[in-house]
Amino acid sequence: MDAFCDVVVIGAGLGGLRAARDLADQGHSVVVLEARDRVGGRGRTSTLDGRLVELGGSWFTPEHVQVKSELARYEQPTRDFPTQLRARWRTGGELRHGLPVPWDELPSLEHALARIAADAEDYGVGTFTGADRSALQYIDDLEPTPAVRDFLLGWWQLTGGAPPEAGSVVDAIGSIAGHGGLSGLLTCLAHGPGAGWSALAEAMAADGITVELDAPVTALDVTDGAVCTTADGRTWRARAVVIAVPINCLPAISCSPAWPVPVAEAAGANAGSALKVLMLVRDIEPHGIAVGAGEGLHWWYADDAIDDVVRVTGFGWTVDGFDPGSRSDIERALHAFFPEGELVQFTHHDWVGDERSLGTWLTAPAGQADLVDPARFAPFACVAFAGSDVAHEEAGWFEGALISGAAAAAHINSLLLG
């Protein structure tokens, strides 16, 4: 038997929850259909020995006013991270402290950083023309020395969610442009939710909306209103629908009439395939970063310490030959940057293999950056889109998810009242 409501929201990430909550606040009946057994999407908080770790996204920036507003609404704390950090580098086959490259390679580093800064300025005013190059091609076109190349590829790990040969350099250039220049790559990692992203998602889900878990939508018919059918054959009828699933999951939902061509072309186009490992490590200094050519993990963040045990995050890409579930592989990766460290515990989540995400944060594919242009996801019929993958601002961040959710709710509200 069909269930009826004003709006169905497909997906209970922060974007979908924001859209649902805003529509409920405006007096509409809303049901959220979530394929997972939990809310939060690519935000998922876990623990290691009682200490919170984020398996998905971690940080928000000082400019992320929507995240701050949501945390304040639900009286949840903000955790501030230090932005003055110790640093070590693994470049040119050596582990370094202080300068990231040898003295005689500093001119190459200076040239590369000046070119990147200039391209970021061009991006900010809409004149950057290199978006179709891969990050690897862009870096190699700078003709860096070996250590400088290692340094630049290590920083790509933070800004790009795909291997450098697969991701468009626009992700790095756009991040630099959007966060105040090269120094913004660190200052943007300023804050996190003190109780975790999962706690925020759960608070939003409990704020006057109905959420159906374990309800993967497999079919959508928008011929006359919206009919959403889940994998077990249940149906919900609504006057409108918000699609708030990762774009790589869109192919799992058949649409009648067919998805608009721009949407169909973009479905599955997110190249994001990052790997994030959370660790507890003994005998290393807290509050530092480590960047460069690693053994599977290339960008590291050493967080706070309790009883000489530091929370550590390591980023890499899903590649053959590195197993994030293998203690020996994690120890080898750790010791490439922290030879003094003792691995205590570790965990990770396979977002690429997870059928409810099929990827990590939004990364434009090399040579096809236009496939993830948010303009492709304009509303059609009774449908609006939400989520960090389709955000017009701060795409790939939870801030972008919230912004897009608010925009989708505003559009649907106008549609229903019109």
Please choose, from the candidates 205, 231, 235, 200, the residue with its C-alpha nearest in 3D space to the C-alpha of residue 221. 235
At 180-230, the pLDDT tens digits run: 877 777 778 889 999 999 999 999 999 999 999 999 999 999 999 999 999
Domain boundaries, the chain: 3-42+197-270+365-417, 105-184
CA distances from 401 to 76, 138, 308 (A): 19, 29, 36
DSSP 208-236: S-EEESS--EEEEE-SSSEEEEETTS-EE
* Residues whose CB is less than 8 angstroms from the CB of residue 105 and which lie 6 or more positions away in sequence, other chains included: 92, 145, 146, 147, 148
Look at residue 89 in the predicted model and tell me its pLDDT.
98
* Prediction pTM value: 0.96
Handedness of CA 36, 39, 42, 46 (dihedral sign): negative
Reduced to 3 states, what is the DSSP secondary structure of residue 61?
coil
At 360-411, the pLDDT tens digits run: 999 999 999 999 999 999 999 999 999 999 999 999 999 999 999 999 999 9
Look at residue 407 in the predicted model and tell me its pLDDT.
99
Look at residue 171 in the predicted model and tell me its pLDDT.
86
Q: Is 103 exposed, middle or buried (0-12, 13-18, 19+ CB in 10 A)?
A: exposed
Average pLDDT over residues 235-263: 98
Q: Give the rounded percent of residues in the chain with a pLDDT score beyond 90.
A: 89
At 41-70, the pLDDT tens digits run: 999 999 999 999 999 999 999 999 999 999
The alpha-helical segments, DSSP class H, found in 125-251 are 135-141, 146-159, 170-178, 184-187, 197-205
* Residues whose CB is less than 8 angstroms from the CB of residue 75 and which lie 6 or more positions away in sequence, other chains included: none
User: How far is 221 from 229, CA to CA, in rounded Å?
Assistant: 9
Would you tell me the crossing angle of helices 170-178 and 106-124 to the nearest 10 degrees? Answer: 80
**Alpha-carbon dihedral of residues 401, 404, 410, 412, nearest 10 degrees?**
-90
> What would be the CATH architecture of the domain defined by 105-184?
Orthogonal Bundle (1.10)
At 342-354, the pLDDT tens digits run: 999 999 999 999 9
For 85, phi then psi, to 5°, come to -120, 150
- The phi-psi region of residue 49 (left if phi > 0; otherwise alpha if psi is between -120 and 50; otherwise beta) is left
> What would be the CATH architecture of the domain defined by 3-42+197-270+365-417?
3-Layer(bba) Sandwich (3.50)
Q: For residue 1, is pLDDT > 70?
A: no
